[in-house]
Structure 1
């Protein structure tokens, strides 16, 4: 009996080894096929980029127009194929042992006390899951017309000061406001123009753009909540959205210009990025931009193309984000883990996008037509304003 049992285990060992070898060959064949498909995708993408580059450098306007529309279906197909190949399968091997030994005269296939089994599941991208954010409401206020207001307010620009206060500009009533951490109004300043966007420059200074003036105005914001005009920087282009690139330069979205985004220094020097942007002109409210400092990337929203573009300045490449959850995207901001947050008025939500173009989360808001969004310096708080007459709100959220 001892000899028979030992022989059983020897045959079991051979059977498991053969089955494991078969599984290995099957998986290697599948992975090799995936590798070949991915290499083909890479060749297709490279070919598309070369074709687009040649046409946009040397082609006529008609050729560029045809190329743009003909390439769109190719790009969408590539995106679908790459998305399908993106998720790798993880193979789990388990061995179930039968605790009952059956000795001859039963066939060897019957009394071998165990069998190798395999099961496949899709391995999740844990990094992407961890980057998905959640919002917890903290404070909310209604934005109503006051006695000295001509129109209902429209906060076209908001940004956090380093100490947690919030600066906001009212486009309709030509005003700049300060709010404390509880969204209580603590300061105001009357402007002589219709402001469009605002960015915090330092602990006590902010910069404001205007659609009807060729300049950027700097305001001094004291710790005592007093706002005064500091200086005006003249420029040659009208700018809409504005954010910081580094300690000396802004990234600004242009108005009615063939180049959608430019660089402006604190002294007014204007420069262009070394990026082949499409020759498309955006008017006010049709696009917004922001900048991801850690990876040197520009984010541009295209309202009526229902698209978010993420440009990599270092490689002069871009990620095109199109999804059913992105309808008429408006303002964009850099959120936690340097993800991109975009206001979607059609669905009253904020969509969170990774830098590779993956939709990480879509967060419903208790407001109609979310319009502007900003994130605190430590990425722990988020403020949203909307653009719905009669139902204007500003709400603050805790990010987790």
Structure 2
């Protein structure tokens, strides 16, 4: 923490340093996510980001339309100036003079602050005084010049000591207006919720009836305890995030332990297999030795007997030769008769031996289980990740709910006798040449870039259109689709009730199927928000709203009230606010809209809005609900509280409205018609 000086200013040093260079701020620029960086650091980072994210398409270069904060990774919309240079991007983010003032005070307390004019001129001088209006430190010479110049002669110049005694003067210095140099933001528009200077009020807020001074706005904010409310929420967020971090950290340690345990288990499997193979190898080696010993002994006996007979044959042969050459005739005849007799014995004995002699060779037939191990077993086993819902409490949504209530209160004044008006901007035929049947569009959704998709149930197609209503692509399903919802920037999901499936698709230059998962029951209406799907199953007992994770796991089913009675009869369309805490379901059979408000994870309170012939529904940026009343041939708007209803599109402009989608960027409605292929676009004034 910084040192506590006069005036009790206490600021964390990290709060005054750039997140990119880790040095004291120099001309800090603040992003919408509230993170600040030195102007030069931010410009360099944006330059590198543009170079990395730009895509060449032929001779043209497509620059990114979003800039990601280097600290929190929040995507910031820069589409209005994406084609400009990095320096121009930087100047679009406001200069944070408050941080500059805090840094000046910190450096003054440290004795490190130098004269502003001298520093800007490349010199370095100690600060001796402070100009309240210029918010700048001055050395002795510059202070004298400052008092003598006509433009600054009336400025309040305090000595360094006087300023340090009254550092609370910072609270009197309002933010400068970026649009009108020399003016300060000392007014606040309660309607548009933004700071403004007198010129801003005259130019942009002259029709606003709730423009007050910043002092009055702060006074009211303190009476409402808004700072305490927000600080409490931020503390709750921090506590929740700490729990998430602790949970994830513990789980990381647990996963590391599981990994080590599995690696040891794999090694043990190998050791066990090797031990078994060693035992089998020893056994078969012994068996081979025993067989080899038996076979060799038998053959050695045969060789020995053959050699003995051979010795006798050799002896008889030599005796016959000697007798023939040197013996008498009687000796020869005697030897001949004896050799004949012995030859008979030789033939008999060798014949017996020959009949017993067999050639042999060792043949090894591998056991079928070992062969399976060698040839068919390709891995130790199946390694899977088993996911289960976290036991962490849901993230607090108090500000989101507060904002919805606040917007609802504000909207009461906008629905006057005139109210919002929606004028027909475009009517176009969405039928394709190869469509065999009449089109029946049961689902529609706008993508973030202004393109939109239509679900043609009759022709089993999903059709992608440009924001200028030109057909770009289509994809065919084997079964009839029902509804569509946006999942990500270039990702959507389509329900396929007949096959109990939800098909995810990418919507880049063309439509491509990606992931797919099945559901226990047929799903019709669908809405994706904050990583989960709300899907309607009206064939179930009872009909229910299913909460499904992004990987297809059913997290909850809401189908009965506190008394156990069914909440729905034939729910067909669903929508929700951006936080997923307020859900609207249109019930075709009961002719009503059921509103579910989350009180804790997967626990809801409910209320109903009685209408007849309800079909498609959608919410606008203010939280107003638009309801297609099919057979009533109209579209009605309902306030967030559900206490005021107004027809926004009448039967003279639409017939049998079925699906409806809201384009937040262009503030327009897309409405399909159940009896024709013509789709209509209504623009709000």
Shorter-normalised TM range: 0.5 to 0.7
CA distance in 2, matches of 1:177, 1:397: 20
Number of the residue aligned with 2:605 = 317
1:136 is displaced (CA, Å) by 2.1
Provide the C-alpha distance between the structure 1 equivalents of 2:559 and 2:496, rounded to a whole number of angstroms: 25
Matched, 1:169 2:455: yes
Unaligned runs of 5+ residues in structure 2 are 1-408
Decide whether the 8 Å contact of 1:263 with 1:272 is kept in 2.
yes
Provide closer, same or farther for how the CA distance between residues 270 and 276 of structure 1 changes in structure 2, counting only shifts above 3 A: same
Question: Which of 526, 535, 539 does residue 252 from structure 1 map onto?
Answer: 535
Deviation digits for residues 257-289 of structure 1 (CA, Å, limit 9, x no counterpart): 114211111100112157854425645xx5322
Query: Contact 2:618/2:660 (CA < 8 Å) preserved in 1?
Result: yes
Residue of structure 2 equivalent to 1:72: none
Q: 1:305 & 1:228 partners in 2: Cα distance?
A: 37
Larger helix proportion of the pair? 2
Distance 1:234 1:345 in 2: 30
**1:256/1:295 Cα in 2 relative to 1: closer, same or farther (>3 Å)?**
closer
TM-aligned CA distance change 1:275 to 1:193, over 3 Å: closer
1:193 matched to 2:479? The reply is yes
CA distance in 2, matches of 1:309, 1:350: 17
- TM-score norm. by structure 2 comes to 0.37
Q: Distance in 2 between matches of 1:316 and 1:205?
A: 28
For the pair 1:352 / 2:605, whether they are aligned, the reply is no
Structure 2 residue matching 1:218: 3-state secondary structure: strand
Shift of 1:367: 2.1
Deviation at 1:126, TM superposition (A): 6.3
* 1:367 alignment counterpart: 654
**How far does residue 147 in structure 1 lie from its aligned partner after superposition?**
4.2
Q: Distance in 2 between matches of 1:344 and 1:129?
A: 25
- Does the residue aligned with 1:194 lie in a helix, a strand or coil? coil
Matches for 1:175-186 after TM superposition, within 5 Å: 175-186=461-472
Contact 2:441 2:677 in 1 (8 A): no
Regions of 4+ moved over 3 Å = 273-278, 280-283
Q: What count of residue pairs does the alignment treat as equivalent?
A: 265
Aligned equivalent of 1:261: 545
Give the gaps of 5 or more residues in structure 1.
Answer: 1-124
Structure number with bigger Rg = 2
1:104 corresponds to which residue?
Answer: none
Q: What secondary structure is seen at the aligned counterpart in 1 of 2:589?
A: coil
Written as runs of structure 1 = structure 2, the 5 A alignment for 1:264-275 is 264-272=548-556
* Counterpart secondary structure, 2:499: coil
Cα distance in 1 for residues equivalent to 2:506 and 2:574: 25
| CA–CA distance in structure 1, aligned partners of residues 666 and 621 of structure 2 | 5
* 2:620/2:664 contact within 8 Å kept: no
5 Å matches for 1:101-180?
Answer: 127-130=411-414, 132-144=419-431, 146-180=432-466
Counterpart contact for 1:276–1:316, Cα < 8 Å? no
8 Å CA contact 1:133–1:361 kept in 2: the answer is no
Distance in 2, matches of 1:197 and 1:169, equals: 6
Tell me the distance in 2 between the aligned counterparts of 1:363 and 1:274: 31
Query: Is the partner of 1:128 in helix, strand or coil?
Result: helix
Match of 1:234 among 505, 518, 529: 518
**Which structure is richer in relative contact order (CA contacts within 8 A, separation 6 or more)?**
1
Post-superposition offset of 1:357: 1.5
1:123-174 superposed Cα distances (whole Å, 9 cap, x missing partner): xx86313155321222211244x44222101111110110000011110111
Distance between the aligned counterparts of 2:410 and 2:549, measured in 1?
A: 39
Structure 1 CA distance for aligned equivalents of residues 480 and 580 of structure 2: 33
Tell me, yes or no, if structure 1 residue 343 matches structure 2 residue 628: yes
- Counterpart CA distance in 1 for 2:643 and 2:468 is 33
Report if the CA contact (8 A) 2:426-2:681 is conserved: yes
CA separation in 2, counterparts of 1:172 and 1:274?
30
Q: How far apart are the structure 2 equivalents of 1:368 and 1:275?
A: 32
- Contact 1:274–1:313 at 8 Å: present in 2 too? no
Select the structure that is richer in strand.
1
Find the aligned partners of 2:463 and 2:523 in 1 and give their Cα distance: 21
Matched, 1:333 2:618: yes
Q: CA deviation at 1:393?
A: 1.6
Deviations 1:175-204 (A, max 9, x none): 111111121211111222211011111121
Cα drift, residue 294 of structure 1:
4.2
CA RMSD across the alignment = 2.2
C-alpha distance in structure 1 between counterparts of 2:631 and 2:480, whole Å: 26
Q: Equivalent residue of 1:367, what SS? A: coil
User: Aligned partners of 1:398, 1:175: CA distance in 2, in Å?
Assistant: 27
Aligned counterparts of 1:240 and 1:295: Cα–Cα separation in 2? 18
TM normalised by structure 1 equals: 0.62
Structure 1 residues 153, 274: closer, same or farther in 2, change over 3 A? closer
Matched residue, 2:330 = none
Q: Distance in 1 between matches of 2:559 and 2:457?
A: 31
Partner of 1:129, secondary structure, is: helix
Per-residue CA deviation, residues 50-101 of structure 1 (Å, 9 max, x unaligned), is xxxxxxxxxxxxxxxxxxxxxxxxxxxxxxxxxxxxxxxxxxxxxxxxxxxx
For residues 370 and 197 of structure 1, do their structure 2 counterparts lie closer, same or farther at Cα, with a shift above 3 Å needed?
same
Q: Deviations over 1:236-260 (max 9, x none)?
A: 22110111231x1011111311142
Distance 2:558 2:475 in 1: 38
CA separation of 1:319 and 1:129: change in aligned 2, threshold 3 A: farther
Corresponding residue for 2:679?
394
Counterparts of 1:360 and 1:282, CA distance in 2: 23
